[in-house]
Chains A and B, each alone.
Chain A
Amino acid sequence: MKITKARLFAFAAATAFVTIAHQALADELSIMASGGAWQDAQRKAWFEPFSKETGAKIVEQEYLGDLGKVKAMVDTGNVPIDLVTVETATVLQGCDAGILERLDYSKIAPREKFLEGSALDCGVGLDAYGDVLAYDPNVLKEAPTSVLDIFDTTKFPGKRAMRKFPAQNLEWALMADGVAPADVYKVLATPEGVDRAFKKLDTIKKDIVWWDAGAQPPQLLASKEVVMTTAWNGRIQNAIDKDGAPFKIVWNNQILEYDMIAIPKGAKNPDLAYKYLAYISQPENNAKLASYITYGPVRTDAASFVAPDALPKLPNAPDHMSAYLVADTEFWGDYGEDLVKRFNAWLAQ
């Protein structure tokens, strides 16, 4: 008898945990973001003020970059998150796959007030960031002048880090191979163009350390594991401003992109989620993030609200716009999946 009781107790205890885990209060908003300095900034700029204003409690989760988990949640109808921050390519993929809710912009903000390409069917822009090159001047005596210098192993020998993802890398590879920025996506849409990009990447493949989380590039530079790395500008600026790291950012040939936020299908609290989206899409709130991490607003009318000392560090500051490329969301929506596949096969070889 006692044994059975013990066993029953074990199961009861286990099920009790489950129920605790599933208790969600009505005015609780569960947001999954991708962690690190960016999530810290969102907390200060948006989570906490929103919480104060509405009384809603924000539960933060961390996204480990695996859409698989979100898909599994949606597939099984057990969606414990109300909002998830994602990249543009993921928004398109998730939209097609039916993982993300189609947004009703009447509940958020006028769609035409957003920068072009930052208000998508299934995701609304949070900020604009730049894919840049970063290095430590104590290690590299000669300063690189363009992101494309990452392909120059004779002038800059040593390991370099790039993101474990085809987007940006293929564009830079083509530009380094002499394709004009305006033609990059045209060339990349052809099989020959893809081959050409991979061939260019081949020339530095053995020198590349791959990163997949945004917090890694500053880490790799700090431990001197690499001499230069591609990075999201805010993460590097953050290491410079907050940790006193001696890093430098190379803006020339940066690629401009938008961070997005989306509602997964079957989210338990869509009304509050829309309330949050509306809140952060107000121009003065949208501009607030720049004070905590150097990412620019996505509202066309928000620039005047950005704190003046943050302005020159933003990716779309005039000084940083001498040569740049705007990431083509639609291209990556169409070709992304095949290119990711090809890229992963290439990595494995």
Chain B
Amino acid sequence: MSALEPTKLDRPRIARDRSAADAKAAKSVTAKLRRAEFGDRLRSLMLAAPLLVLLALSFGIPIVLLLSRAVYDPTIADALPQTSQALRGWNGTGLPDDAAFLALAADLRDNQAKGTAYELAKSLNARLPGARSQVLKTVRQLEGAADKPPLEVMKGVPFWSAPGTWPAIESGTHSVTSFYLLSALDLRWNADGSIGKVPPEQAIFLQVFLRTFFVAAAVTLATLILGFPLAYLIASVPKGLAAILIVAVLLPFWTSILVRTAAWTVLLQKFGLVNDLLLWLDVADDRLDLMYSRIGLIIAMTHIQLPFTLLPIYSVMRTIPPSQMKAAYSLGAKPFTAFRRVYLPQVFPGVMAGSMLTFILCLGYYITPALIGGASDQLISNFIANYVNVELNWEMAAALSFILLVFTLALFGIFARILGLDRLKLV
């Protein structure tokens, strides 16, 4: 776009002056300009390149690779090459022919020899509950009875002839899979090829997503109720006083989430200050269990997020001249009407920016739920961490990350579209 501009500018001049020599000179000037422009652009690209490359390596590639695990899982396909081959002609209903059983037996043996049988068992178990012990059992039997024909061993384990086993194996032989993404939404493929819900004792993720949204919404609402009046006050008082009040907002804002969570774990203890205060005020009859509870989590998160909601509101409020409200009063508007009809519409973008920012940030909370929430207050990020560290199911972690990221980016896209990226600057 900008590269064309000099040429455009030059064109009328060239048209006016028809002298061939001049035209030639003009052309070379244009070329030089263009070259200089190109050099400039190259230089600025070169300046930005180191950080861009570094970000791609340290941030971009890791995230893309992580997300790709949600849909790409070659473990089973790699472990069962002969079986995949044998299943190619299978129509997907009933049991496959004996060749498939033999191929599976051969594959299982190979895996045992390579030491990958466990990996296979685990991966198959993720799709087919109970498969883990059956795979390991069969492997042991295949090894232990070398003289027994493999087909007999395979047919001797009822699991391999059970309905549902072979469709699961067959779907596992496709490296690209929708299994984990569906599971992250408590869905699965039914035997008839339709998508259905997983059995209720396995259905956990929708609940966790809903819980995450609920906590985010509750925190957003609480920060608005607490933050809006304070923002209004700061925007209305004289400058000196406002500066002091704003420090009260910025001090916690500048303290790390971990430190503030630590402070809240001290405060929310059974014999902590909050309970002391409640007893002293005679609000509660007995000490409350605030640690490891939803309410404790929401209180702490509200404290952490309050400045994020408040600052954008404040930055809009202080641009609204007080004379407007006075004009409304003088025109006979009642205070509430004036506030609702004149003030509120103007601060609305600030309210939107603040609450959306808080809502989006709440979706990714990890530290605070881990330390203050109980088992039923863990948010989606905690589940992602758990799947990586404890269950060693990285595909599931990837699928949950994928969905969380889609939600976050979509909300952020709406945010940026409505409000513009520059609004992100706070204070």
Contacts and interface: CB of A to CB of B under 8 A. Distances in A.
Complex: A in contact with B (CB within 8 Å):
yes
A348 B201 contact: no
A208 B202 contact: no
A337 B388 contact: no
Contact of A342 (B201, B270, B378): B201
A113 B121 CA distance: 34
4 A-B pairs with least C-beta separation? A66-B389, A348-B204, A96-B118, A68-B389
A334 interface: yes
A265 to B, nearest CB: 10
B208 A348 contact: yes
B114 to A, nearest CB: 10
A4 to B, nearest CB: 9
A321 interface: no
Contact of B390 (A68, A98, A225, A346): A68
B341 to A, nearest CB: 47
Contacts of A342: 201
B382 to A, nearest CB: 10
A347 B390 contact: no
A287 B100 CA distance: 55
Interface of A: 7, 65-69, 71, 96-98, 159, 164, 208-210, 223-225, 334-335, 337-338, 340-342, 344-349
Contacts of A66: 389-390
Contact of B119 (A97, A164, A340): A97
B215 to A, nearest CB: 14
Contacts of A209: 291-292, 374
Nearest to B121: A96
B188 interface: no
A225 B201 contact: no
A104 B292 CA distance: 45
A349 B207 contact: yes
Classify the secondary structure of A's interface with B.
helix
A345 B204 contact: yes
B389 A225 contact: no
B391 A223 contact: no
A290 B349 CA distance: 66
Contacts of B325: none
Interface in B26-81: 50
Contact of B376 (A69, A345, A348): A348
Contact of B392 (A71, A159, A208, A347): A71
A348 B269 contact: no
B136 interface: yes
B391 A340 contact: yes
A223 B375 contact: no
Determine which residue in A65, A335, A348 has the highest number of CB atoms from chain B within 10 A of its CB, and name it. A348
A340 B292 CA distance: 21
Interface string B392-421: 100000000000000000000000000000
Given A97-B119, A209-B291, 18 more contacts: A67-B392, A68-B390, A69-B389, A97-B122, A98-B115, A209-B292, A209-B374, A210-B375, A224-B271, A225-B289, A338-B132, A344-B386, A344-B390, A345-B201, A348-B208, A348-B375, A349-B207, A349-B376
A225 B292 CA distance: 10
A348 B383 contact: yes
B129 interface: yes
Given A97-B118, A223-B270, A349 B133 contact: no
30 contacts: A7-B50, A68-B388, A68-B389, A96-B121, A159-B289, A164-B375, A209-B291, A209-B292, A224-B271, A225-B270, A225-B289, A334-B133, A337-B122, A338-B125, A338-B130, A338-B132, A338-B133, A341-B129, A344-B204, A344-B390, A344-B391, A345-B201, A345-B202, A345-B204, A346-B201, A348-B207, A348-B208, A348-B376, A349-B204, A349-B207
A92 B289 CA distance: 38
Interface residues of B, number: 35
A7 B129 CA distance: 52
Contact of A223 (B50, B116, B269, B388): B269
Nearest to B129: A338
B366 to A, nearest CB: 15
Contacts of B133: 334-335, 338
Contacts of B390: 65-68, 340, 344
A98 B202 CA distance: 28
Nearest to B205: A348
B139 to A, nearest CB: 10
Contacts of A67: 390, 392
A336 to B, nearest CB: 10
A209 B269 CA distance: 13
Contacts of A159: 289
Nearest to B290: A225
A220 to B, nearest CB: 9
B356 to A, nearest CB: 27
Contacts of B292: 209, 225
Contacts of A223: 269-271
Nearest to B374: A209
Determine which residue in A68, A98, A340, A345 has the highest number of CB atoms from chain B within 10 A of its CB, and name it. A68
Contacts of B115: 98
Nearest to B126: A341
Contacts of A164: 375
A122 to B, nearest CB: 12
A103 B390 CA distance: 25
Contact of A224 (B207, B270, B383): B270
Contacts of A208: 375
Contacts of B386: 344
Contacts of B121: 96
A335 B270 CA distance: 37
B6 to A, nearest CB: 30
Interface string B131-147: 01100100000000000
A308 B243 CA distance: 69
A2 B6 CA distance: 34
Nearest to B125: A337
A94 to B, nearest CB: 10
A204 to B, nearest CB: 13
B217 to A, nearest CB: 20
Contacts of A96: 118, 121, 136
Contacts of A65: 390
Interface string B353-394: 000000000000000000000111010000100101111100
B10 to A, nearest CB: 36
B286 to A, nearest CB: 10
Contacts of B389: 66, 68-69
Contacts of B132: 337-338
Contact of A341 (B291, B388, B391): B391
A253 B269 CA distance: 31
A265 B101 CA distance: 33
A334 B121 CA distance: 12
